[in-house]
Amino acid sequence: MIMNRFSSGEPLNGIEKGPDLYVDPLYNLIHGEFKVEVVQLPPILFHCKLYREEVTSELVEVIKYFKELMAIICKSAESSFPLILGGDCCTSNVASLMGLAKVYGEIFLVHFDAHGDYNTPDTTITGFLGGMGLAALTGEWKLIQKLMQNKYTLKKENLLILGCRDLDPNEKVLLRKSGIRITSTRELTSKRYIIRELMDELKIKNKKIHVHIDPDVLDPVNVNSMHYKVPNGLTLKKLTKIIQEILRKNHVVSFSINGLNPLESKAKEDALKIAKFIAETTSKII
């Protein structure tokens, strides 16, 4: 388990302590079944706002953190199954995929999120780096790769975004142009075998898969301690079923999940629900 205690700042202040909520319940649930090693990074909260592709001093610090996390994930993937507890999405995705690619080469990313994380410094409204991770990873904007001195780019056909229902206007245009496959909660809940069909259609049979979950893919009625509460999400039961379907025929090599907001009143209760879900899911993969 890798504790990625990172927040790229407003509006996700506090998420750097998100992994702390999961780690004990999760450890207790899985350590009998597997040999579990916990790697902790110190909690770190940045105030990194990007409105154009410029190298700010905060961004330089963020990149240092990304590199450190990437090396840890890479080392972990060489001999075990990295289970990455976030932190916000951008670190998980950028560092995870770059680290995994060193070990496995081509990687397919299944990304569960109410959001697209497909803003660039040009399209963003908030300047929030956490909302730009997938656009950076797929080379839609290139500053991150340049600063990381890492040319790895996730091919757009190797990305599937599930449960997406809250996009900024310009982000929506960019995503539509990219051709990336996005499936809304409505689609996921309306058709019984949509995931099986999607996975077949995407021809990922022989590819290694990284699964990332932002808990805001869930409905706030189900789990309420995420920073963004976006209505019409998935139930935990439906999410479990979809993941089981993904696992049925495919090779998942690692898993990451974003943090909850520790300041929410039900944070501990919700973290336990999610820890049980992760334990149940990963026990079928590892």
User: Nearest 5 degrees, angle CA 48-CA 51-CA 52?
Assistant: 110
Shortest Cβ 110–Mn ion spacing (Å): 15
Shortest Cβ 50–Mn ion spacing (Å): 18
Q: Using CB under 5 A, pick the residue from 168, 214, 264, 270 that binds Mn ion.
A: 214
Shortest Cβ 218–Mn ion spacing (Å): 10
69, 95 Cβ separation under 8 angstroms:
yes
From residue 79 to residue 118, the character string flagging contacts with Mn ion as x (rule: CB under 5 A) and all else as - is ----------------------------------xxx---
- Angstrom distance (rounded) from CA 117 to CA 122: 13
Question: Is the alpha carbon torsion for 168, 164, 203, 284 positive or negative?
Answer: positive
Residue number with CB closer to Mn ion (11 or 203): 11
Q: Using CB under 5 A, pick the residue from 16, 88, 140, 216 that binds Mn ion.
A: 216
Residue number with CB closer to Mn ion (113 or 219): 113
Shortest Cβ 35–Mn ion spacing (Å): 32
Q: What is the DSSP letter of 80?
A: S
Question: 3-class secondary structure for 93-154?
Answer: HHHHHHHHHHHHCCEEEEEECCCCCCCCCCCCCCCEHHHCHHHHHCCCCCHHHHHHCCCCCC
Residue number with CB closer to Mn ion (77 or 234): 234
User: Nearest 5 degrees, angle CA 150-CA 17-CA 32?
Assistant: 90
Residue number with CB closer to Mn ion (113 or 168): 113
Which residues make Cβ contacts (< 8 Å) with residue 213, sequence separation at least 6? 112, 113, 239, 255, 256, 257, 258
From residue 113 to residue 152, the character string flagging contacts with Mn ion as x (rule: CB under 5 A) and all else as - is xxx-------------------------------------
Shortest Cβ 65–Mn ion spacing (Å): 20
Is residue 171 involved in binding Mn ion (CB under 5 A)? no
Shortest Cβ 114–Mn ion spacing (Å): 5
Structure tokens at 114: 């109410």
Total site size for Mn ion, rule CB under 5 A? 5
- Residues lying near Mn ion in the complex (CB under 5 A) are found at 113-115, 214, 216
